[in-house]
């Protein structure tokens, strides 16, 4: 790489893929930047560089300090690293396994060295990164299956603006639990099927539509298909329960069932979990608070342990659900059968509720699912 003479360091950031030799330096920046419960290990860094060197991008500045083991007088001040997954959303497994044929780029870290923070390096790195991925996709031999289709990352809410500024959109709470703070998923859909200018021109000639109108039509189609996703309404408090149930009085007593379809609450997922009318409302006594598991929604009172909690109870088997996933069996700390947490089958979001091994009942926590908005 050639450096301009007399360059002022930050005006001349150069971007380049990180070689094996720079991995320890990148790891040093990571360790200085993330709390201990979130930082990756050096071993993980070495693996990522080996598995996906084309996704490990560094930001370098000119340095006069002689550097041992390298002929280049440059210094690493930031980096982005990622691996590939075939999943369209970030889960623990899509973050831990590199799938070489996957088209989702899962970003693990975006980092600038502490001494170079607040100077727009992360934003410049992200823009450079996205532009390289888009270019690699545009150059894919097979136009129908481009190399990369989307870029995914998880962030804490305080970095939302940074990523939005770089072109990412906010998806919602993430299923990933890593460290103590909740994570949110953000993504950038790459323009995979973006027609070339000449294709747009050819199409518009055929249809006698001016190219600019054609572009506008395509943009409006794209946004209306985004709007078509079911939106899940969440309960902001249990006082709203009355709005989402149907009460039936009969000689057998009063039953309260779910008035609306229950959906995965994650924005961008909205997977149908249970049809309306399929579950009954119960106020479930909580003997063992472990059944509540963890979930990544932000809660206003995370530490209070309720004595009972409103749940949709589903019986007598999991076939009643339209879609449901289960965690591995977890032993209870007190006596009793092992528990399994209920998860979204599509995106692993959870926990949405619980069941016990061998039990015919499944408890879905009312405040952890979305309610399909009424068709208007
Ligand atoms: Zn989901």
- Residue 64 CA to ligand 1 centre (angstroms): 51
- What order of strands is seen across the sheet that includes strand 350-356? 245-250, 253-258, 280-285, 308-314, 362-365, 350-356, 339-343, 325-326
Q: What is the pTM of this model?
A: 0.51
pLDDT given at position 374? 64
What are the backbone angles phi and psi of residue 186, rounded to the nearest 5°? -130, 155
- Residue 176 CA to ligand 1 centre (angstroms): 12
pLDDT given at position 172? 84
pLDDT given at position 16? 94
What are the backbone angles phi and psi of residue 306, rounded to the nearest 5°? -75, 155
Buried b (16+ CB within 10 A) or exposed e, 26-61: bbebbeebeeeeebbeeebbeebbeebeebbbbbbb
Query: What's the distance, CA 256 to chain centroid?
Result: 34
Q: Which tokens go with 227?
A: 């709007």
- Residue 272 CA to ligand 1 centre (angstroms): 8
Q: Which tokens go with 240?
A: 């709203």
The CA distance from 159 to 155, in Å, is 6
pLDDT at 240 over 70: yes
- Residue 2 CA to ligand 1 centre (angstroms): 48
Partners of 356 in the β-ladder: 339
Q: Which tokens go with 182?
A: 């909740």
Greater confidence (194 vs 335) lies with 335
- Residue 346 CA to ligand 1 centre (angstroms): 5
- Residue 136 CA to ligand 1 centre (angstroms): 30
Total residues found in the chain within this entry: 376
- What order of strands is seen across the sheet that includes strand 14-17? 14-17, 57-62, 74-85, 104-112, 150-155, 184-189, 169-173
- Residue 60 CA to ligand 1 centre (angstroms): 39
- Residue 264 CA to ligand 1 centre (angstroms): 5
Partners of 75 in the β-ladder: 61
- Residue 323 CA to ligand 1 centre (angstroms): 10
Q: Which tokens go with 356?
A: 């016990």
pLDDT one-digit tens code per residue, 346-374: 888 888 999 999 899 999 999 899 998 76
The question of ipTM being above 0.90 is answered as yes
The mean pLDDT value of the chain amounts to 81
pLDDT one-digit tens code per residue, 302-338: 455 668 899 999 999 989 999 998 888 888 887 889 9
pLDDT at 132 over 90: yes
The CA distance from 341 to 329, in Å, is 8
Give yes or no for a contact between 370 and 264, defined as CB atoms under 8 angstroms apart.
yes
- Residue 343 CA to ligand 1 centre (angstroms): 8
pLDDT at 148 over 80: yes
In the chain, the domains with their CATH numbers are: 10-189 (3.40.630.30), 238-372 (2.170.150.10)
Buried b (16+ CB within 10 A) or exposed e, 286-321: eeeebbbbebbeeeeeeeeeeeebbbbebeeeeeeb
Q: What is the DSSP string of 153-183?
A: EEE-GGGHHHHHHTT-EEEEE-S---SSS--
Coil vs helix vs strand at 84: strand
Query: Interior CA angle at 22 toward 19 and 23, to 5°?
Result: 90
pLDDT given at position 334? 79
Partners of 248 in the β-ladder: 255
What average pLDDT does the segment 188-203 reach? Answer: 61
Work out the pLDDT band at 300, boundaries 50, 70, 90.
Answer: very low
CA dist 104 → 49, 83, 131, 146, 334 (Å): 17, 8, 15, 11, 41
- Residue 374 CA to ligand 1 centre (angstroms): 20
Whether the bond into 351 is cis, omega within 30 of 0: yes
- Residue 345 CA to ligand 1 centre (angstroms): 7
- Residue 228 CA to ligand 1 centre (angstroms): 16
- Residue 271 CA to ligand 1 centre (angstroms): 5
What are the backbone angles phi and psi of residue 134, rounded to the nearest 5°? -60, -40
């Amino acid at each position: 790489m050639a450096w301009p003479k007399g360059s002022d360091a930050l005006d001349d950031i150069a971007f380049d893929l990180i070689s094996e030799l720079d991995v320890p330096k990148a790891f040093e920046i990571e360790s200085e930047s993330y709390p201990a419960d979130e930082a990756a290990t050096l071993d993980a860094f070495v693996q990522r560089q080996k598995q996906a060197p084309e996704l490990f991008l560094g930001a370098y500045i000119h340095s006069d300090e002689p550097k041992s083991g390298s002929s280049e007088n440059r210094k690493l001040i930031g980096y982005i690293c990622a691996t590939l997954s075939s999943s369209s959303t970030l889960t623990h497994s899509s973050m831990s396994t590199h799938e070489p044929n996957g088209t989702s780029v899962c970003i693990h870290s975006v980092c600038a060295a502490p001494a170079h923070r607040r100077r727009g390096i992360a934003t410049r790195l992200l823009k450079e990164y996205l532009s390289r991925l888009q270019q690699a996709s545009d150059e894919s031999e097979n136009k129908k299956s481009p190399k990369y289709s989307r870029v995914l990352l998880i962030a804490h809410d305080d970095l939302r603006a940074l990523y939005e500024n770089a072109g990412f959109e906010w998806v919602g709470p993430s299923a990933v639990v890593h460290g103590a703070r909740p994570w949110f998923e953000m993504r950038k859909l790459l323009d995979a099927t973006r027609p070339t200018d000449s294709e747009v021109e050819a199409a518009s000639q055929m249809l006698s539509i001016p190219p600019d109108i054609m572009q506008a039509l395509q943009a409006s189609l794209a946004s209306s298909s985004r709007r078509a996703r079911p939106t899940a309404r969440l309960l902001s408090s249990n006082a709203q329960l009355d709005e989402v149930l149907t009460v039936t009085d009969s000689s057998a007593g009063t039953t309260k069932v779910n008035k609306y379809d229950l959906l995965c609450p994650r924005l961008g997922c909205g997977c149908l979990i249970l049809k309306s009318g399929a579950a009954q409302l119960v106020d479930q006594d909580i003997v063992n608070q472990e059944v509540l598991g963890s979930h990544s929604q932000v809660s206003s009172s995370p530490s209070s342990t309720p004595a009972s909690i409103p749940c949709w109870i589903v019986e007598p088997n999991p076939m009643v659900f339209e879609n449901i996933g289960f965690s591995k069996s977890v032993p209870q700390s007190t006596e009793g059968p092992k528990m399994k947490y209920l998860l979204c089958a599509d995106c692993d979001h959870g926990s949405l509720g619980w069941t016990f091994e061998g039990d015919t009942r499944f408890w879905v926590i009312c405040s952890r699912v979305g309610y399909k908005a009424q068709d208007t």
